[in-house]
Structure formats: C-alpha cells, structure tokens
Structure 1
Amino acid sequence: MHVRVTLLAAARSSPLLAERFDDDRPLDLAGWNEVQRAAHALVRLAAAELRYCSPTPRSRATGDALGLSPLAQPALRDWDMGRWRGLTLGEAMAREPRAVDAWLADPYSAPHGGEPLIAFIKRVGDWLDTRPQGLGYARPGETPIADDGGRIVAVAEPAVVRATLVYALKAPPSTYWNIDVRPLSMVTITGRAGRWNLRLDDRTVQA
C-alpha cells in the first residue's frame, strides 16, 4: 500500500522580498486574488480523501477559498524562529549578523532560541510517515476500502513544503536552502513511511 500526498504552498500575504519568519498574518487582497485566479487549476484537489493544512491563517484561508475545508495539523506549523519571529532575513541580519551566519551554516544551531533546521525537518517528516495508507472510495457513511493509492492534500507554508521535500528525498539538510517554493505551487510525493518518491505531473502546474 502507498499514499499520494500533494503539497500546496499557501498564497502569499506579502511581497516575496518582504516575507517574514514564522509569519502568522492573514491573506491580503493580493493573496485572495491569487487564489481566485488559480482556483480553476486547483479544483481537483477537493477529490482527495484527506485534506490538511498548516495552522497559519493564510494556509487555512487558502484551503477554505479552494473549498477544501482542511483540518489544521499542529505538526505542519511553520518553522519556529524564536525571537526572529516576524522579522525578514534582512532585519535579522542587521540585528544579529553572526547569529544568522551560524544559523545558515549549521542545521543543528538555533541562535534565535527557536527550532533548529534539523528538528524542523524531522517534525514534518514524522507527520508524513504517519499518514494513513491505502485509502479508498466509499459512499457516505461507509468505511473507505483499502486500495493501492490513497490521496492526501496539505496546504502548507512554503517552509513546510521545503522541509517535507528534504525529508522525503533523504537529502542533506543544507538542500533546504536550494529549494524555491512559490505561492500556490504544488508538488506530489508518493510512497510510504521511510520510502518516498517525488512525482512530477506535466498535466498541471506542479513545481
């Protein structure tokens, strides 16, 4: 048995250059407009048997705007950035340049007092490995019948998508910094606990 997990990055709540660590602001008008423009290409996500989201306002709002009614998952919360929460990278660098350099170089470090990168990756990886497998279709009120390909969708913060990919591909933690996740981009991974594969589908705008 295996499961297919599609990760959808939440719509933005600010310009990309103004992205802030552990940002819990709601979607702004630009973000809402982005979701509406992309809705026709994302409507098929509602067919997933299980629909989740990060517990951030913009992840919830993105999922709700697409008609997913996703269930918030604490394990999919954004990266805990401690006292840097709400800052941009530039602002953190201006305040604590040596701490930022150490943080970027060492996945085990957490000079901000929050969560090390390695712990963040493990957190989302543990969530991924405990997803129910073999979900099937059933009429309302019936128990789903096991088959070979349950579908799950998770609307998540870009940082969560990046960490999930690093874990699924068993890549070095430093790979996290080389993954660019754009708002409303999608990626699908298939498999089961400890054995995941990246799936690219040219029929959609998946990244």
Structure 2
Amino acid sequence: MGLRVTLVAAARSSSRLAERFDDDRPLDQVGWDDVRLAAPSLIPLGAAELRYCSPTARSRDTGRALGYAPLAQPALRDCDMGSWRGYTLAEVAAQDPAAVDAWLGDPWAAPHGGEPLLSFITRIGGWLETRPTADGAIVAVAEPAVVRAALVYALQAPPLTYWNVDVRPLSTVTLTGRPRHWSLCLEAGALHAI
C-alpha cells in the first residue's frame, strides 16, 4: 500500500488579488464559510494517523476548523519572500518589473533577498522525504504555494513547472508511495474547487 500524504490547501484569508507575500492573516469570513461548506468531504481526512499544518494562521485555523488538531510544521512554511514580504505581486511588479521577471524566469533567482524557488521546492521535498516509511496516512493543511512545491518535487518536474500549477483554497491532492518514490493519486472527489 505505501504511505498516503494528502495535502489540503488552506482556506483563504483575503481575495486572490489582495494576497500579500508572506501574509500571515487568519481566515476571513469567506474562508470560514468555505471551510463550513467543504467540511463534509474534508473532515474524513482527519482519520489520518498523522495530522500536520503550515505554521500560518490560516493553515492552523483551517486544520482546527476541520477537527484535525494538526501539529504545526516549520518546514511547511511558505516561501521566504524577503524584502517583498507584505506586498502584493502587483505592487512589486510596479516598483521593480525586472526583479519580478527574474524571479518568475529563474528558479535560482531571489531578487527579494529571501528564498529562491528551487530552495523552497527542495525544502518542501525534504519534509516529504522525512515522513515515516511505513504504510499509513498523513494529512497536512498548507499554503497553496507549499502544495504546489510538493507536487513539483514529488513528480520530479522542472522547477518552473511550479508556475503552471493552480492550487485553489481547500483543494486536496494525494501523493502515494514512499520517500524518493512518489506518485500523484487522483481519486473521485479528491480534488475540490471552491
């Protein structure tokens, strides 16, 4: 059977256009309402032997609202955006479009002084690789960026594939296998879009 790691994208804490880099706001009212609507399909995932979450407020709120009682994992934190922290992508692009182009086009670039995309993907992959090797189930509520990074890592896709993965709040994806041997598992009802 192998290990099953189900990643649940945290509910929203702001509209997509208002999202700020490294934003650690709690869920907004729409996020709480979305959790309530998605709960019937997501609550059963809490039967996993191990339940984790990103250390962000919205990930912790989502996990608690679903009854997971998740353990915050520092390794599942969002990408460190350095000097861009607190700004929207539109604000940074208006201020320094060349830096944004470099960041989007080069996985080693870190014009913000934070974590390069490749380092972020590798860090999230390191978390996956250190999960128990025995059969079992894990659920982790994380920022959408963390879910994207985990998918790129697990599928051994080129790092810039990260930009082509859209992870919506409260969507889920399951990886099966064991460290260094992951497969993407798509099941009926496994992906949710809210």
Taking structure 2 as the reference length, what is the TM-score of the superposition?
A: 0.96
Q: Give the percent of matched residue pairs that are identical in Structure 1 and Structure 2.
A: 69
- Calculate the aligned-residue CA RMSD, in Å: 1.1
Q: Which amino acid aligns with 2:112?
A: H
Query: Residue in 2 aligned with 1:52?
Result: 52
Task: Provide the residue aligned with 2:4 in structure 1.
Answer: 4
Retained in 2: the 8 A contact 1:52–1:72? yes
Contact (CA 8 Å) 2:133, 2:178: kept in 1 or not?
A: yes
Aligned position for 1:33: 33
How far apart are the structure 2 equivalents of 1:205 and 1:129? Answer: 23
Letter in 2 for 1:17: L
Gaps of 5+ in 2: none
For the 8 Å contact 1:200–1:206, the answer to whether it is kept is no
Q: What amino acid sits opposite 2:108 in the alignment?
A: Y
Q: How far, CA to CA, are the matches of 2:74 and 2:87 in structure 1? A: 22
Quote the residue 1:186 is aligned against: 172
Q: Aligned equivalents of 2:96 and 2:58: distance in 1?
A: 28
TM-score by length of 1: 0.91
Note if 1:97 corresponds to 2:83.
no
Match of 2:14 in 1: 14
Given that 1:8 and 1:153 are in contact with CA atoms closer than 8 Å, whether structure 2 keeps it comes out as yes
Runs of 4+ in 1 over 4 A off after TM superposition: none
Aligned-partner Cα distance in 2 for 1:180–1:97:
22
Match in the other structure for 2:149: 163
Q: Distance in 1 between matches of 2:27 and 2:43?
A: 19
Larger Rg: 1
Cα distance between partner residues in 2 of 1:124 and 1:109: 18
**Residue 198 of structure 1 pairs with residue 177 of structure 2:** no
Using the TM superposition, name which of 67-76 and 12-21 deviates more: 12-21
Equivalent-residue separation in structure 2 for 1:14 and 1:28 (angstroms) = 6
Contact 1:189 1:197 in 2 (8 A): yes
Q: What are structure 1's unaligned runs of at least 5 residues? A: 135-148
